[in-house]
A and B are shown apart, each in its own frame.
Chain A
Amino acid sequence: MKAFPISSCLGFAMAVCVVLSTASSSFLAKHSTQAPANAPSPTLPRLPGGRPDLQGLWLKSAGGFQGLFIGSLDGTNLAAGGARGGGRGARGGPAPTRYEYTADAEAERLDRLKRGYEDPEARCHLPGVPRSLDQPGGLYPVQIIQDEKYVALLHEAMHDVRIIPTNDSPHPKSYWAWDGDSRGRWDGDTLVVDVSNFNGRTWLDMAGNFVDENEHVVERFRLVDAETILYEATITDPSVFLKPVEMRFTLKRVPADQQILEYSCLEGERSLQHYTEEDGGKKVRVK
């Protein structure tokens, strides 16, 4: 028996997407406030049980919240010394998200902004949710493998893995993780994932935006067409934010001739060689 090619389902998918791709760019604007009725779409690739087939290799498309290189969810421009209002809109992306921090948390954010070297991802730690998906645009894909019991996200970045059961099972007790604990269910054609049990160590970006152990995320994955997943996340954290933070971007299917690669960060990590000791690194500052 020969191996089954990964791309075996793509022929059908591509025929469908040619029609829909022109519509997808305006999709975000049309659906920015309300998801459409969950009428099953006859054109989506599906698994035998009828659920949308999210499988494949996906890449956050341009216009995501965390831009290329300068990772800031709220438009903070690190290159400009931390002033807010960086060039998000100029790149055609969605308007900057405005976090509304509690007073204590805002002081903490500003403090962390000055110490970007403490960003856990810079030390090769797991990014947490939703940062695992909100990687700088176009850099790291996610491979999705799915069956009737789970949807597994294999992220190239940080070789981060989430195996999400889709049976709406409850969160465990006394479990605190970088990526939290993900429990999924299907709401019509939308995969809704409830993420809780965070350990409070993760940042949301490179600019000091952060959450603590009270973070709670509700994610929605919807296959818009065979080439596009619309991703939405609502982040609540009552001890950090005054109101929920909404995030939305699209994942586009990676052409079938490309593959996920291995990520190694801790192995061969050299960034700490370049930080001075007072910045938490190993380099001695030359006076």
Chain B
Amino acid sequence: MSLIQEYAESLAALAGNDFESEVCARLQSVILGFQTVPAKPQGDAGLDGFSHDGERGYCCYGPEHDEFKTNKQRENAIIEKFKSDLRRLCELEFAKKKLVCIECPEMATILPDGRKLKHISLLLNWFESHRVLNPIFTAFAEYRVTSICRYVDVDASVVVLGPKELANQYAVDESTIIRARQRVFARRVQQIARTVAIENPKDFESKMAILREIRPDQLAAVESLTEQFRHYWRMSLAFERELDETLPTLHRTLEENRKRILTRVSQLMLSSREPWNELGKASDIAQDFLERDFGKLYGSLVQDVSSGEIARLIGECPVGWEKPSTDHG
């Protein structure tokens, strides 16, 4: 598979902020002077980035893949989103179904003084229908006529670009691919973590039941902890599953690291007079191990996965606790 094709597929797999972040990172790496527009403090006025000293603007839209049941619904959403962005750039809104001019104070704080957008790129994670084109272009022509054009040139042009077009526009190198893969991977792990089932939580539940018995004064805290451990445990399972399906070599590395983490945590707990203090450091130990092999590739996930690995050790039994015996005889 060519790098361009793989990059196009990665872009198509991203949605929401992940898509917008990737597009902006990509444009920033290939266009000197590309400027992203943060949505804070009062919205981005419909503009996600600009370049060429404020003469070219970029608007992104990456709808979630399961957000629409039919392509028709997806087309309509794309049309409405970009028409809305273009209206904001043209300082227009509907009042009683009629376009009226408004003032958008945020635009003045974004573009350089005296500059107007001459070309606007509308960037999409799904461009499998030409039916979005006519409504967007027709609407933009109407907006330019109605607008007082403070920030958009009266002769401005607009173009719609999908993943294939974006991937083809500039050279794709290995670092671009790795960045896209990381985003897709992190997104997949978070998605899987929401649905992955913990297969046999019986031991975990019984440990938490003992904890509730030991600390009846802290039931709310124990409940909150239980939820947190489940969340991290699922993250760890999701990370493992995603590695196994896509990068089996790294899965093997994770498996080896799990053994090392357990050995280290066990050594510390067994040799310490205050074993529970050592448990408190366990996720840092896990993070130290996992950072070495996964930090560069999946830095944003390593912390959660590290906590997940310890939650898993508790859930899958190597680390546990019992009530002290009352029989001193």
Binding partners A and B: no
| A interface list, Cβ under 8 A from B | none
| B interface list, Cβ under 8 A from A | none
